[in-house]
Structure 1
Amino acid sequence: MNEISLKALAKINLGLDVVRRREDGYHEVRMIMQTIHLYDRLEIKKTGSADITMETNLSFLPTNENNLVYKAAKLLKDEFEIKEGVHVNLKKHIPVAAGMAGGSTDAAAVLYGMNRMFGLGLSKKELMERGVKIGADVPYCLMRGTALAEGIGEDLSALPPMVKCPVLIAKPSVNVSTKFVYENLKLDDTTVHPDIDALVADIKAQDLKKIAADMGNVLETVTIPNYPVIADIKQHMLEHGAINAMMSGSGPTVFGLFEKEETAQEAFTAMKQSGLAKQVYLTSIYNNARI
């Protein structure tokens, strides 16, 4: 196999709680991760040289060791002493720095693709063990589907598939630093934590309305006061028929869940016309675990 074409899917958080800050500075989390059918496209080709090269449709993205795609390729090249080089053509559609694991899912696709192309024989579990060295979300992006993530996000438990429904995605023009959000998160007796266990039960019961009602993201307590447009987008989605809307990850992307495709289509049009968001997509829950 000399080349491979892959879809790298985005994720949303149906629930995100931060349990505590550890002594090493990392935060312990409990999150419900969910794949959606919004994706980047990667074409990976073997080359005659020994180098890792990449190109992308976004001029501001690095194409060197500062990109997780490059780091993923280098990790496997170094470990398995792969002499051939690879060239990665990355077409980005997932919003960048948006709380949707865009970089992590691209890295996951490279690990998967190189494992196939070079016949490394690594299992999904073995790829996930390597993925965590690149980023905490990479193991989940290899696993996909519906999952409970604990620890720093790398301790994953598969859940029954989420109810399929339309998902509206809206990213405002602001950029949010994940580091800033976590550094400014206050965890004390007044912190309102989402009920992750209730969400797990709702998913197992396949009850979309209850899932929507129990969604929560503790990081909104930091991001929304600093970027009020996130609250505006949430409110706009609710006014246009979303059964709930929430920020994904550390933001600034907001997603809304809908019961009917027709309502979601109308909300999509209204969001585009509102000027609140720079990027707007209408997609759906995606439960196929294959890359």
Structure 2
Amino acid sequence: MNVNVPLDEVMGFSFTYDPIQIARLANSISEGFCRADTLLSAISSKQGTFLKSLDNMVSSVFNGVGYAKYPYQLRFLLQENYYAEVVDGLDNSLLSVGTKSESIQSKYARITFDNFYLAENRVPFKSAEELLDKVITEGYKELFRLKLKPESPIQVFITPTKKHIVYMEIQKVDTGFRLTFQDIQTGLKIVNGNSLSSLSAEATRVLREVFEYYKIPLTDAGPQPIPPSAGQGTSFSMAFNLQGHLDNIGKLQILPDSALTIKEVVTHDISELKALDDKAIKSMIEEYASLMTDRDNQKRLKLDNLGDKLPDMPASTKQIDG
């Protein structure tokens, strides 16, 4: 993944050929892709495939045919499902890609998202200095308290302004420490430092334009007064207590006509997705066949009493190869 690729411009371009997004943006009802992007970033990063997932997303935008469409489409579907109950006009958007908002699949996904949202412990901040200090200080305290590996990433979900969220992580690497900042509005930024203090100083410099974009003061004691917009919705949450919920989100299967999980899409190359999907579909059919040929299950469904005849089930998945 080339870190110089302007991912914010790529995402902006993706809207230009999506008539549904254009219509929703024109009517001010689009919620963008920011929440979906942060969740997928966190899930892929935990598996060490963060940059690969972004690379796949770029390929998906420009070459979105067949399985190549899934990295982009997944962001759309995840975001729509996440906000389906609080943003008007999303039912038609989901139907347009073959997903019903009232399906059992979508309802279970929304329960999973709700559990994640309710578990977030949001901490307010008023300046870039306060944000970085709290994330680094409290983050490593919690990492050591939980006895996690020193190289485990500190994953952070930041709300720089109302109705928007970005992803940031700090991780120990061979050369010191690395901070990764991913935002669909301002792009991808990667910062390196020999120590945590040098990382914080370098991050303030590299992310300066981002903080200025969101009107977040660099320090609490800056020469300029804190603007009215700052502090309104500016908060962050760390993913330490959210890992179980992220794992559950990663297991969701929300792509129409596919058995792929969210985690599989963001942790594998596009060229590997078809084989993974074929394997997952075979597994689902095998499980279904086992459930429906079980005599106890047939009695519960009263199939024998109704005289219903089940279709012939394949003896093995070899019969459905092809």
Q: Tell me if TM exceeds 0.5.
A: no
Decide which structure has greater strand share.
Answer: 1
Decide which structure has greater helix share.
Answer: 2
TM-score interval (norm. to shorter):
under 0.3
TM-score, normalised via structure 1 length: 0.26
Q: Bigger radius of gyration, 1 or 2?
A: 2
